[in-house]
Amino acid sequence: MSRGSQSAIGRLIETFLRGNLAILLMIVALAAGAIALFATPREEEPQIVVPLADVLVSYPGGSAEEVERLVSSRLERMLYQIDGVEYVYSMSMPGQAVVTVRFYVGQDREESLIKLYNKIFQNQDKTTPGIAGWVIKPIEVDDVPVATVALTSERYGEYELYRIAEEAVTRLQHIPNTAAITIHGGQRRAITVHLDSKRLAAYQLSPMEIAGALRASNAQLESGSFEEGNESVRVSAGPFLRSAREVADLLVGLHAGRPVYLRDVAEIADGPEELASYSRFGFGPASGATNLVSHPAVTIAVAKKKGSNAVRVTAAVDEMVKDLRGVIIPDGVDALITRDYGRTADEKVNNLVGSLGEAVITVIILIALVMNWRVGIIVALAVPITYALTLLVNFLAGYTINRVTLFALILALGLLVDDPIVAVENIYRHLRMGKQPRLDAISTAMNEVMPPLILATLSVMVAFLPMFFITGMMGPYMRPMALNVPLAMFSSMLISLVITPWVSSMMFKNVKFKEHKNSDEDDVSSSRVYRVYSKVVRPLINSPETCAWFALDHRRAVCGVGGDGASGCSPQNVAV
Q: Which pLDDT tens digit goes with each residue over 22-63?
A: 888 889 999 998 999 888 888 777 777 788 899 999 988 888
Q: 576 pLDDT band (50/70/90 cuts)?
A: very low
Query: Topology of 189-272 in CATH?
Result: 3.30.2090
Whether the bond between 239 and the residue before it is cis, its omega within 30 degrees of 0, is: yes
User: Could you tell me which residue, 339 or 17, shows the higher pLDDT?
Assistant: 339
For the chain, what is the mean pLDDT?
A: 82
Could you read off the pLDDT of 65-116 as tens digits, one per residue? 989 998 899 999 999 999 989 899 899 999 899 999 999 887 888 899 999 9
CATH superfamily of 3-39+371-507: Multidrug efflux transporter AcrB transmembrane domain (1.20.1640.10)
Could you read off the pLDDT of 239-291 as tens digits, one per residue? 777 888 888 888 888 888 888 888 888 888 888 888 878 888 888 777 766 66
Could you read off the pLDDT of 410-457 as tens digits, one per residue? 888 778 888 888 888 888 888 878 788 888 888 888 888 888 888 888
Q: 575 pLDDT band (50/70/90 cuts)?
A: very low
Residues of the chain with CATH 3.30.2090.10: 189-272
Distance of alpha carbon 335 from the chain centroid: 27
Is residue 547 over pLDDT 70? no
Burial class of residue 469, CB neighbours in 10 A (0-12, 13-18, 19+):
exposed
Distance of alpha carbon 520 from the chain centroid: 57
Neighbours of 113 (CB within 10 A): 17
Residues of the chain with CATH 3.30.70.1430: 52-139
**What's the first-to-final CA gap in the chain, in angstroms?**
32
Cα distance between residue 482 and residue 477, in whole Å: 10
Q: What stretch of H or E contains 339?
A: strand 333-340
Query: Topology of 148-183+299-340 in CATH?
Result: Alpha-Beta Plaits (3.30.70)
Is residue 408 over pLDDT 60? yes
Average pLDDT over residues 199-214: 86
Cα distance between residue 304 and residue 44, in whole Å: 12
Q: What percent of the chain clears pLDDT 90, i.e. is strictly above it?
A: 11
- Identify the top-confidence range among 385-394, 401-410, 546-555: 385-394
Residues of the chain with CATH 3.30.70.1320: 148-183+299-340
Neighbours of 484 (CB within 10 A): 26
Determine whether domain 52-139 maps to CATH 3.30.70.1430.
Answer: yes
Instruction: Kindly state the DSSP code that residue 148 receives in the 8-state scheme.
Output: E
Q: 574 pLDDT band (50/70/90 cuts)?
A: very low
Cα distance between residue 68 and residue 536, in whole Å: 74
Is residue 555 over pLDDT 60? no
Q: What angle do CA 291, 292, 294 make, to 5 degrees?
A: 110
